[in-house]
Amino acid sequence: MDVLNALVAFLNFVFIPGLSYGAQIALGALGVTLIYGILRFSNFAHGDTMAFGAMITILVTWWMQSVGISFGPLPTALLALPVAIVATAAFVLATDRVVYRFYRQKKASSTIVVIVSLGVMFVMNGIIRLIIGVDEQNFTDGARFVVNPQEFKAYTGLAEPLAIKTTQAVTVITAFAVVALLFWFLQKTRTGKSMRAFSDNEDLALLSGINPDRVVAVTWIIAAGLATIAGTLYGLDKSFKPFTYFQLLLPIFSAAIVGGLGNPLGAIAGGFVIAFSEVMVTNAWKKIVTYLVPESMAPDSLLQLLSTDYKFAVSFTILIIVLLFMPTGLFKGKSV
């Protein structure tokens, strides 16, 4: 029974949180790698694009809740997502036309465009804080658990109750559905094939008659959709605070680079590598180990390698190691 209790504790504190966090990071990294692979620059404003999309979702969710619209046991934010995706896509397309298009026409170096994206990031962050403020916002509703811990404990007789939050289940299911849809789009549709050709060889793609403006617009729309979904899922699972999304840039870029910048499959793998690394290093293993060892050998300390305050240090360390020894990442993306 103690082994089963240890397994349930592992699921509660490591596997399930790592799986949901990894799905959120993977979606964010997908947007980063898509922009890098096609538009050829690292978009430092992607974290704030996630925050902008989540903000629109929150505002629409609040309106729906005020008029009595809900989604039953599921979060009402899922109903607000389509509106947020459209609004965020319109915002990033406007940003591209006003800002990035000029530098694209001038054929500016990627370094200059990266610096420009930093400016866009600060502007977006200011807009978000002006509209929704700087305080933490909680917009989760519906059923709290898919697997209720008290019911699980009563049914199984285990000392450790299994708890699977609705937001965690929604995160994983939504992320897998979005990834499957994205890969189908890139592999099977004419527009997706044009985007892949543009990414592989821009000059040859242009000679083949591919419309570059269309490819750019579709890329921004998809990246905005991924950012909005990732930002909303993260906000539902944790909470929404504008500055948090700026901090997420590090694990998101780490995931994209670890997997192979410019490689969508690598972005997904990198997201889960980063997420599980952070969770496992910052988790307090005392409870799990206590179930597995004799009472006389039970640890007194938390058995925690790093405090959760330092979880981004894990991402940074992995990023440095990959840049030093494997700059193309696990799936052989573009060298950085």
What is the tens place of the pLDDT at every residue in 245-295? 988 999 999 999 999 888 889 999 999 999 999 999 999 999 999 989 888
The pTM assigned to this predicted structure is: 0.94
Q: What is the pLDDT of residue 22?
A: 97
Q: What is the pLDDT of residue 334?
A: 60
The dihedral built from the CA positions of residue 303, 19, 258 and 27, taken in this order, carries a sign that is negative
**Predicted confidence band at 333 (pLDDT cuts at 50, 70, 90)?**
low
Q: Residues 6-29: what's their mean pLDDT?
A: 96
Per-residue pLDDT, 294: 87
pLDDT > 70 in the chain, percent: 99
- Name every residue whose Cβ is closer than 8 Å to that of residue 282 and which is 6 or more positions away in sequence: 304, 305, 306, 307, 308, 310, 311, 314
Alpha helices for the chain (secondary structure H):
2-10, 16-39, 46-66, 77-95, 101-105, 110-132, 149-156, 166-188, 190-200, 202-207, 212-237, 242-247, 249-259, 264-282, 286-292, 311-325
Residue range 129-167, pLDDT digits in tens: 999 998 998 899 999 999 889 999 889 889 899 999 999
As a whole number of angstroms, the distance between CA 136 and CA 259 comes to 31
Per-residue pLDDT, averaged over 28-42, amounts to 93
Residue linked to tokens 């579709």: 218
Whether the pLDDT of residue 208 is over 80: the answer is: yes
pLDDT tens digits for range 152-161:
988 988 989 9
- Report whether pLDDT(313) > 80: yes
* Band (336; pLDDT cuts 50, 70, 90): very low
pLDDT at residue 1 greater than cutoff 60:
no
